[in-house]
Amino acid sequence: MVTFLQKYRPRVMLGLAIVAPLVVAAILVPFRGTFANAAAGMTLVVVIVAVAVGGNRFSGFLASVSSALWFDFFLTRPYDRFAISQRGNVETAVALLVVGLLVSELAARSRHFSRVSTEETTYVAMVRDLTEYANSAAASSLVIEWAIESLSELLNLRACHFDLHPSDPPMAQIQPDGDVVHVGMLWPTEEMGIPGPEAEIVCEWRGRTLGRFVITPTPGRPIAREPRVVAALLASVVGASLASDSRVP
């Protein structure tokens, strides 16, 4: 059930963005003669907030428009028409729309910052764990295996393996600053993904090249700069482990 909700949540929230304001406005119809329109507007704002928090920016915007329309249709004179005869009701409808749009934008930004914070925490933990493992008594071969698992998760790879020898001919390469260089040019990885069929991340430590990770990226899967920088940092940790360990895998 949880998996189903996660899979179809965007569609469900879009449906609620359209239907929920209609249902709430219709429920308020029997009370529209005694229930203040400003109070009705606040009730619809609660609906917008719920949709905006549970869905995305677009579902929040859609709920705002839907709320303003059904507020006009059901709760303002002349009733059951998309027309408003009183200035106060016009102001309430406009305020409902504006507040809804602002709430939707704030909810979207809050989700973005929360996601970024979670990702950064994951990246720090990934580098810390590999560094602690490399500093332990583990052989460099085990450190490499750990790094392969981390890189596969981080870059959404189809395959990854370690190679001591340089590539011939040269492959696309993830640089320490996260840039991806392919045939001497910067590759637009944020839009087109890591170029394939294979690319590499060189393991360097204090100017020495000690090997490379050969990666098979998912075709067309965009990869942001942050995980690419972390991937290069993980390769450096492996390079440091190899430089201090005479047991080369």
Instruction: Report the percentage of the chain scoring pLDDT > 90.
Output: 48
CATH superfamily of this structure's domain 136-244: GAF domain (3.30.450.40)
- Render pLDDT for 163-205 as a digit per residue (tens, 0 to 9): 998 888 889 999 999 999 998 899 999 999 999 899 999 998 8
Q: Please, which pLDDT band fits residue 246 given cuts at 50, 70 and 90?
A: low
Is residue 85 classed as helix, strand or coil in its secondary structure? coil
| Higher-pLDDT residue of 95, 181 | 181
| Model pTM score | 0.67
Region 46-63: what's the mean pLDDT? 89
| E strand map for the chain | 157-163, 172-174, 180-182, 185-186, 199-205, 208-217
- Measure the CA–CA gap between 46 and 48, rounded to whole angstroms: 5
Residues 6 or more apart whose Cβ sits within 8 Å of residue 102: none
List the domain boundaries for the chain: 2-114, 136-244
242 phi/psi in degrees, rounded to 5:
-65, -35
Question: Taking every pair of C-alpha atoms in the chain, what is the biggest distance, in angstroms?
Answer: 86
Per-residue pLDDT at 244 exceeds 50: yes
104-117: pLDDT as tens digits = 888 888 888 888 88
